[in-house]
Structure 1
Amino acid sequence: MSERTYRAIADPTRRAILDRLRQGPANANALAGNFVTSRPAISKHLRILRESGLVIDKPSGRERIYHLNAAPLGEVFGWLGDYRTFWQSSLDQLKRNLEEET
């Protein structure tokens, strides 16, 4: 598992940026307009997202356009899937136990 991916999605602002990019590409100013934090802070978040591979930036004239790359999230999805199986099994066992008591 990539530590960079988990680090990137650990922050709520970065998750919000990813949510915004699901709607389509945007430049840094458009992304920063959605937050009360400073433009340099958003740039730092975008750098972390780029380093994790979750965001790809492409030059367009004098600005950069940011695009979502959700592929690294497949790894997280797989990891969480194991826990989903665990919890489903635990809930099924709890249900059986409760039904046996009644």
Structure 2
Amino acid sequence: MHDPLEPADGSTFYAIAHPLRRAIIDRLRQGDSVVEEMAADLNRSPADIEPHLLLLLRAGLLRSHMDDGGPVWSLVPAGLGEVDRWITPYRPFKLVRMADLQHLVESELRNGR
């Protein structure tokens, strides 16, 4: 049986829940990159970054293509569509702090939504 507090692999919300994965997304917003560049930019080792890249890939947030130096990673902005659709109804409330949004998400998870 699936634990409702443990989102399924491939979930966009699960993918963006980790701070390192959000940092990777922010980094790739600046442009395509290889693992070594991202690791250096984020002060992490390539081994720390790679599992997160694969999870973001499975969630549809990243894509990669092979180049002479190995895989080049790119952001897939459309992959954030699920997040955009979810947050759109809340935009009129003009959330002042992201902490408010975090509490809202945690409440939704507790209520099984």
Q: TM-score, normalised by structure 2?
A: 0.69
The answer to whether 1:4 aligns with 2:11 is yes
Residue equivalent to 2:100: none
Residue equivalent to 1:79: 86
Residue equivalent to 1:99: none
Residue equivalent to 1:29: 36
Residue equivalent to 1:44: 51
CA-to-partner distance for each residue in 1:9-50, whole Å, 9 max, x for gaps?
Answer: 001111111111111100000011022333211001101111
2:61 counterpart (44, 54, 59): 54
Deviation for aligned residue 1:69: 0.1
Unaligned runs of 5+ in 2: 1-7, 95-113
Q: CA RMSD in A?
A: 1.8
Aligned AA for 1:48? L
Deviation >2 Å, runs of 4+ = 35-38
Residue equivalent to 1:13: 20
Q: Which has the larger radius of gyration?
A: 1
- Aligned identity (percent) is 37
Residue equivalent to 2:74: 67
